[in-house]
Amino acid sequence: MDQQTLIYIVVGATFALYLGIAIYCKAGSTREFYVASKGVHPVANGMATAADWMSAASFISMAGLIAFLGYGGSVFLMGWTGGFVLLAMLLAPYLRKFGKFTVPEFLGDRYYSNTARVIGVICLILASLTYVIGQMTGTGVAFSRFLEVSYEMGLSIGMLIVFFYAVMGGMKGITYTQIAQYCVMITAYTVPAVFISLQMTGWALPQIGLGSTLTEHGTYVLDRLDQVLNELGFAEYVAVDEHNRINMFFYTLSLMIGTAGLPHVIIRFFTVPTVKAARSSAGWALVFIAILYTTAPTVGAMARLNLMETFGTTEATEMVYEERPQWVKNWEQTGLIEFTDKDNSGTINYSSNPEENEVTELNRDIIVLANPEIAMLPDWVIAIVAAGGLAAALSTAAGLLLAISSAVSHDLLKGVFKPDISEKSELMAGRISMAASIAVAGYLGFNPPGFAAGTVALAFGLAAASLFPALMFGIFYKKMNKEGAIAGMLAGLTVNLLYVFQHKGIMFVASTSFLGDLDPNWFFGISPNAFGAVGAIVNFIVAMVVCKMTPEPPENIQHIVDDVRVPVGSSLASGGH
């Protein structure tokens, strides 16, 4: 059977599975649609959260980023996992105890204000929509690369699948599909990693393989990598860049706070039965995420080493272009890798010097996508990688779309405009806004705005600077009032947007950037991507100052806070409410 047929069969089988789950998990009430009846087992929710969280970027791009950034790539590894510690200890159990359906709903109730709720909805929609564009383009790219259909066709198929299970099943359908998607994507990620680690070091566990010796040379993998990089004139892999330390600190912190504040992740913890389950479920989520995240550094380092040894590390071993391996030929066709024989020598010189370098295009996504071929793995592994990439993009897209549609139907429609809407109409409204969100996301996928690449950073910035501090104050500071919270959210949002826009251009149109995206103009050397943490600090300060100058929140609000702080019942036996 040829490879293409195999890919069709594997991807087709996974899609059939998702559709089967959709039919089995139809949602019959708003409780099922928004929070899967709060009946999901903590381990199952952990798995669903892992799929919800790990996007096309985690699956396809992260190992490549690490491969080319080396130690610098650690910001993503620590940032995107460390946030779960914050989520588990500072937000998830308390918001679960609060027991409602959405994140803006907590803000509205806790700050006794529809304004706070609407600002919450705006931040949520901005963050989730920018995030979903990446998933949509990821779906289209994965389809077109593996299934040999056009980008538009691929995107349409992806949208149709999501439409089917998200509109019918809501959170219930999404949860069980995400569990299946997690299994597909983790298999797709670890199988090639285990093989490549075995081939190079003899160790099956990639996490150990990276720290051990190469069977061929007897030298440590990382030492060999540094040696080769040195020969070619690149920066060392494990070396710490001292000048970048402050930026790295803030970048990691921003990603952590942003991770904890992203609504599509938070709402996953509304689906478990108890507060206790919410706590352990966060741990399980991180276990499932860590399996991929601790494997990624191995994939990155080993694939980079493999790549460089294919191209040749010295003049004598340079790759003869006519004798290039089959996988290089395959990926040349996609344009992800390109050679220009500048000196007409017939050999390819890979060098850090741009004038001499003859590897003129080397897309970092190739590290994961071509990994099975570089390691010469059987065709079925390549088919699973295709299914895995699609699972990663679709699972995250569905989670984001649910966050958006529940904010529209539950917070805006029922919460603000039409409080007397019946349960049945709200469910219908939920389905309609889900369908509309898919349409909007699809439109953005077909016409990706020019600024799409920069926007994931913006999503984290928004979550970190506006949502996270307001949620934390709501739980940990009883005296925080609506004036403080609203002022804080707006201040965090504004500072973050201004900083990002002045360096990246207004709405990411580069020509409108009046400071330029150059290091000397960065505030204390903090890059725009890393500014979310600063926005969060501004939010905290503004909220505290405004809170001190305005009246305390009413008594009954302080009772709400008391209640969310304990797992059971009202906090006081004689509380009287």
Partner 1 sequence: MAFQNETLKKQYWRDNLRIIGWLLAVWAFVSFGCGIIFAEALNAIHIGGYPLGFWFAQQGSIVTFVVLIFVYAKLMDRLDRKYGVQETEDAK
Binding site for partner 1 (CB under 8 A): 38-39, 66, 71, 73-74, 77-78, 81-82, 84-86, 88-90, 93, 207-208, 210-213, 220-223, 238, 240, 242, 245, 248-249, 252-253, 273-276, 279-280, 282-283, 286-287, 290, 293-294, 297, 562, 565-573, 575
CB of 83 to partner 1, least distance (A): 9
Using N-to-C axis directions, what is the helix angle for 151-201 and 114-146, rounded to 10°?
70
CB of 27 to partner 1, least distance (A): 18
Rounded to whole angstroms, the Cα distance separating 287 from 518 reads 38
Comparison of 15 and 288: residue with beta carbon closer to partner 1:
288
Comparison of 71 and 446: residue with beta carbon closer to partner 1:
71
Comparison of 90 and 421: residue with beta carbon closer to partner 1:
90
Comparison of 204 and 208: residue with beta carbon closer to partner 1:
208
Q: Could you list the beta-strand ranges (E) of 235-310.
A: none
CB of 157 closer than 8 Å to CB of 356: no
CB of 58 closer than 8 Å to CB of 395: no
Q: How many CB atoms lie within 10 A of CB 525?
A: 14
CB of 539 to partner 1, least distance (A): 19
Comparison of 212 and 494: residue with beta carbon closer to partner 1:
212
CB of 221 to partner 1, least distance (A): 6
CB of 70 to partner 1, least distance (A): 9
489-501: b (≥16 Cβ within 10 Å) or e: bbbbbbbbbebbb
Which tokens is 12 given? 């087709």
Rounded (10°) CA dihedral 401, 55, 104, 84: 150
CB of 472 to partner 1, least distance (A): 11
Which tokens is 289 given? 């995420």
Sequence-distant (≥ 6) Cβ neighbours of residue 282 within 8 angstroms: 46, 49, 84, 87, 88, 92, 269
Gap between the terminal Cα atoms of the chain: 68
CB of 105 to partner 1, least distance (A): 19
Comparison of 443 and 476: residue with beta carbon closer to partner 1:
476
Rounded to whole angstroms, the Cα distance separating 21 from 44 reads 15
Comparison of 305 and 381: residue with beta carbon closer to partner 1:
305
CB of 399 to partner 1, least distance (A): 20
CA-nearest of 479, 463, 478 to 539 is: 463
Comparison of 91 and 495: residue with beta carbon closer to partner 1:
91
CB of 75 to partner 1, least distance (A): 9
CB of 119 to partner 1, least distance (A): 27
Comparison of 173 and 297: residue with beta carbon closer to partner 1:
297
Rounded to whole angstroms, the Cα distance separating 110 from 470 reads 10
Rounded to whole angstroms, the Cα distance separating 137 from 390 reads 11
Comparison of 282 and 337: residue with beta carbon closer to partner 1:
282
Rounded to whole angstroms, the Cα distance separating 290 from 284 reads 10
Q: How many CB atoms lie within 10 A of CB 416?
A: 15
CB of 18 closer than 8 Å to CB of 180: yes
CA-nearest of 5, 80, 114 to 456 is: 80
CA-nearest of 521, 483, 61, 532 to 254 is: 532
